[in-house]
Amino acid sequence: MAIGCGFWEYNVGSKFRIYLSWESYISSNSRTGAIQMGLLVFLSYVILLNTVVPISLYISIEFIRLLQSKWIDWDNNMYYEPDNIQAQARTASLNEELGQIEYIFSDKTGTLTQNIMTFKKCSIRGKFYGDISNENKDNKRTTDELQAIKFIEQDNNFVWYDRTLIDDIEKNENNDINHFFTLLALCHTVVSEEQDDKIIYQAQSPDENALVTAARIFGFAFLNRTQSSIKVRFRNKIETYDLLNILDFNNYRKRMSVIVRKHGQIILYCKGADSVIHERLDPSEKNIMALTHEHLHKVASEGLRTLCLAWKELTAVDYENWAKKFKKATTSMERREEKIDKLYEEIEKNMKLLGMTAIEDKLQDGVPQCIERLTEAEIKIWMLTGDKIETAENIGFSCQLLTDDMIIKRIDVETEEDVTIELNRFRIELIEKIEQLFNIHIDNQNKRLNWKNLGINEYKFNQHTNKKINIENFQGFSLLITGHALVHALSDQLKIKFLELATMCKAVICCRVTPLQKSQIVELIVKHDKIITLAIGDGANDVSMIQKAHIGIGISGQEGRQAVLASDYSIGQFRYLERLLLVHGRWSYIRISKFLRYFFYKNFAFTFCQFWFALYCGFSAQTIFDAFFVTCYNIFFTTCPVLVLGVLDQDISANHSISKPHLYIVGQKDKLFNRKIFVECALHGLISSCIIFFFSYLCILSSIEPSGVVLSDFQTFGFMVATILVIVVNLENALEMWYWTGIYIFILLGTILLHFLFHFIMYSTLLRITFKINYPYVGIFQVALKSGTFWFTLLLICTILLLPVIGREFFRIRFMPNEIDKARLIQKFGIHKKQTTKNQIDPRQRQRSLSIRSTGSGYAFSQKKGWGPMITSGTLRTKSASRSDSRQNHKQ
């Protein structure tokens, strides 16, 4: 436009300087003066045309996001009453991204499960306790048919049905049982506290709390500790053990031990993962370990977390020799940790197996249904957990992350060479299965595999598979990989191959992973696939993962608030994630998309009117509109209706949104606002401005009222264009709005009336008389509204612009409806589609299938290293112990 101004000034304007003189600082030379005028007009048009992206756009978006966040805060359907936890949006800038999630990375313990551990079953020297068999049938009775045993020291979370163990304890004939529960009462880092004559345990991990609580209920109660002793109550008799050493837990050792002394007898008690305990047993324990392994497989198939228990009696001479070397190692200034670990290994060998424990960590309510709906929304869920692969696999089946119709690949190797072999083998198997089922041939097998490039929707395999071949009802691939294998899979040499295969899977479960590995996995997806990711967890070990993902969700659970404080949103239970994404996330994405589409449309229509007028004013940067109208257009005359659209609009209700997860795909594919739609908005605004400007111009070009008033003056024309523009864009907003309410109708009509009221006051003669100003628009309002030409032009242009939009939408909904249109019609007319019920697997059949699939146990040990030294150094002490010590010192 500045160039156009330069040409006009050079060819036309320079010849009429006697009538329209240039400024004194402009050169009198026609060419130089024209160039100077063009540069000045360029700056003027920068100011005049900045309405394409006005400052009100940023303010409006932030206002909409703020209120969208408040809808999350105020949603009582995401209120977790037992813990009094309300969903909270801790940021207001990511609401629309909640509607575009493609990958969810989830912790297991405390996120998918309740993180409330309960002692369920155990095996003591080959005898299994916890299962109750029917006397007449060879099957187990359900808990509904049983009556729980009542204990003297009952715990709310502890339920036990097997009378056999109680009888064996009361008989007091089996010394192995005494050793078993003595170990549970002594081998831990739990701290006790007395409250109202009750013992309250403060444990670092819920697992330890469950084990110590179970021992107390069965009559082996831990009372308190000092840095050198442990006081217990066994069979109503209080005893004190000398605490000689605590061999602390760490992720490498996967076990902990204590060395205690009682009546001159020195005993080492050890508990840990079955694999590490098995390696340190005496060769004579081979048969017992084999029997215990069967029990481990059995409880692992039920998703229980397990530990193995072992013990060893030490001679005084052996212990004294070891203790001297251990003391020397702890004071060493070089390689201290290495020396200590070596001494741990030296004494923790040739042990006798006591048995195993099985702890239940139940799934949270609604987790399977939530995961099923999120999967239907084409969201991939990866479970990143510190548990063993068997426990994670069975939890995966319990929460429907894995199904029996999936091809499951397990990678549980430790060397880089083995990991490479397993990944290559999996890739070959994957290609062969795809070619077999989908009747296609992959020409370039070195190219990265991608379902989209293959033209296959992995969530609708039945549409693509060969029905004669796919008799197994193939539902996709899943990958289970351990932390040891991930060390190599995430290396620079293998990470792209791992990414390729993992993204071809519907579900991925990473087991025994560290917090660092969790963040590396999320970073790998974010960096290479350029998609919106979400991470959800409840503990401090999930913080790095939460911070790496685009959106972090913290669950307020048993492990504190570290995850919540590092997150963008917090919820009370995992099941609320489906409402957060499928309702709030989807609505937020739709609202922001429609807001941006409409906002750019109305501003393009406004700005292009200025452009058309420039053709008639020599590109002089003269505005067609009144200066007050230019100021108020984006503040008062068009903003309120679009704000209501961005805050209140919804296509279908919340319940329908949850029941139709496939509607979420719109946000993932960014169908509602992208480059194509932006261009369409610009063209729509261009066409609207063209019709508004030129039809108004033609209608009043030679228009004279019967009273003799000429309407073709500049002020009347500008007011007519402004008025028609305001009415048209607000009616366009009404057509964009799906959810009409009384509030919206009031604001829509009020905005249009405000335009008329504003100009009635501004253009009245009363204003001129009161303020003694010579305003060129005075009287224009009355003249225009009394004119039939004005109303005819308004009606004509509204019909020309709005009728095609209405017709297009009618035709599209009638003949080419999209998924949202179908869902709205179903909701409006109460049409309910028949839901296809999935084949229900008999629980006993599922139990058998899981038992076959499981080849190991789940490892229940979630505490961190460092508590042992704190206890033995006296840093960590119980309150009751401290009080007793102070009383003894006072007596002395």
User: 321, 344, 363 — which closes off a domain?
Assistant: 363
Confirm whether 492 is domain-assigned.
Answer: yes
Question: Pick the catalytic residue: 107, 274, 649, 651?
Answer: 107
**Quick check: is 284 in a domain?**
yes
24 within some domain: yes
341 assigned ligand-binding residue: no
User: 339 a known binding residue?
Assistant: no
Has 410 been labeled as part of a binding site? no
107 carries an active-site annotation: yes
150 labeled part of a ligand binding site: no
Same domain for 290 and 388, yes or no, is: no
The three-state secondary structure class of 509 is: strand
Q: How far is CA 50 from CA 62, 185, 541, 577, 854, in A?
A: 20, 74, 48, 41, 65
Do 422 and 566 lie in a common domain? yes
DSSP-assigned letter for residue 264: T
Domain contains 248: yes
Listed residue (721, 735, 712) closest to 692, CA to CA? 721
Tell me the pLDDT tens digit for each residue of 851-884: 334 334 455 555 556 556 667 666 655 554 434 4
Percentages of the chain per state (helix, strand, coil), in multiples of 5 = 50, 15, 30
- Residue 670: inside a domain: no
Sign of the CA dihedral running 636, 642, 646, 648: positive
What gap in Å lies between CA 105 and CA 509, rounded to an integer?
10
Q: What is the pLDDT of residue 471?
A: 46
Around Cβ 330, how many Cβ atoms within 10 Å? 12
Same domain, 320 and 390: no
The number of C-alpha atoms within 13 Å of 463 and in the hemisphere containing its C-beta is 6
pLDDT of residue 561: 82
| Residue 375 assigned ligand-binding role | no
Question: Do 384 and 315 fall within a single domain?
Answer: no
Do residues 409 and 426 make contact, with C-beta atoms less than 8 angstroms apart?
Answer: yes
pLDDT at 123: 93
Contact status, residue 117 vs residue 360, Cβ threshold 8 Å: yes
Give a yes or no: residue 694 inside a domain: no
* Domain final residue pick, 544, 571, 598: 571
Would you say residue 764 lies in a domain? no
Number of Cβ atoms within 10 Å of the Cβ of 368 = 17
Residues 567 and 501 both lie in one domain: yes
> What Å distances lie between residue 721 and 369, 377, 599, 698, 727, CA to CA?
55, 46, 19, 12, 10
Find the domain containing 455 and state its range: 88-109+365-461+473-571
- As for how many domains the chain has, the answer is 3
Long-range interactions of 446-449: CB distance < 8 A, separation 24+: 448/496, 448/500, 449/500, 449/501, 449/504
Same domain? For 249 and 351 the reply is yes
649 is in an annotated binding site: no
Q: Looking at 571, 604, 625, which one is the last position of a domain?
A: 571
Please report how many Cα atoms fall inside a 13 Å half-sphere around the Cα of residue 822, on the Cβ side: 10
Q: How far is CA 406 from the centre of its chain?
A: 24
- Determine the pLDDT at residue 892: 38
| Residue 557 labelled as part of a binding site | no
Do 377 and 401 share a domain, yes or no? yes
Instruction: Divide the 892 residues of the chain into consecutive groups of 10 and give the mean pLDDT of each group.
Output: 71 70 74 78 79 86 94 94 91 93 91 85 91 52 63 77 88 86 91 81 83 90 88 88 88 84 92 88 91 87 84 92 91 87 90 91 88 92 85 84 87 91 92 84 81 80 56 79 92 92 93 90 91 91 92 83 91 94 95 94 92 83 87 91 93 92 92 93 94 91 69 86 96 93 94 93 78 77 88 94 93 90 86 44 38 43 59 58 40 39
The annotation status of 670 as a binding-site residue, yes or no, is no
CATH number of the domain that 338 lies in? 3.40.1110.10
Dist. CA 532–CA 522, nearest whole Å? 11
Same-domain pairing of 333 and 370: no
Query: Who's near 379: CB < 8 A, 6+ residues apart?
Result: 101, 102, 103, 104, 581, 664, 668
Any binding-site annotation on 108? yes
User: 438 and 312 share a domain?
Assistant: no
Q: What is the pLDDT of residue 692?
A: 95
717 annotated to bind ligand: no
Per-residue confidence (pLDDT) for residue 419, from 0 to 100: 93
Give the integer Cα–Cα distance in Å for 195 and 546: 37
Q: What pTM did the predictor assign?
A: 0.80
173 and 243 together in one domain: yes
Cα–Cα distance for residue pair 104/532, rounded to 1 Å: 9
Task: State yes or no: 837 annotated in a binding site.
Answer: no
Rounded distance, CA 280 to CA 282, Å?
7
DSSP result, 71-93 = HHHT-GGGEETTTTEE-EES-SS
**Residue 200, domain member (yes or no):** yes
Three-state secondary-structure class, residue 577: helix
pLDDT computed for residue 418 by the predictor: 93
541 is in an annotated binding site: yes
CA 695 to chain centre: 52
Same domain for 452 and 541? yes
| Residue 271 marked in a binding site | yes
For residues 237 and 334, membership in a common domain is answered with: yes
Residue type, 576: Y
Residue 508 tokens read as 């991925």
How high is the pLDDT of residue 745?
95
How far apart, in whole angstroms, are the C-alpha atoms of residue 691 and residue 605?
10
Of 532, 550, 552, 531, nearest to 542 by C-alpha is 552
How far is Cα 640 from Cα 662, in angstroms, rounded to an integer?
32
pLDDT for 467 equals 52
pLDDT at 468: 53
Is 360 part of any known ligand binding site? no
Residue 498, annotated ligand binder?
Answer: no
Is the C-alpha dihedral spanning 292, 298, 300, 302 positive or negative?
negative
Q: How many angstroms separate the CA atoms of 508 and 446, rounded? A: 23
CATH number at residue 377: 3.40.50.1000
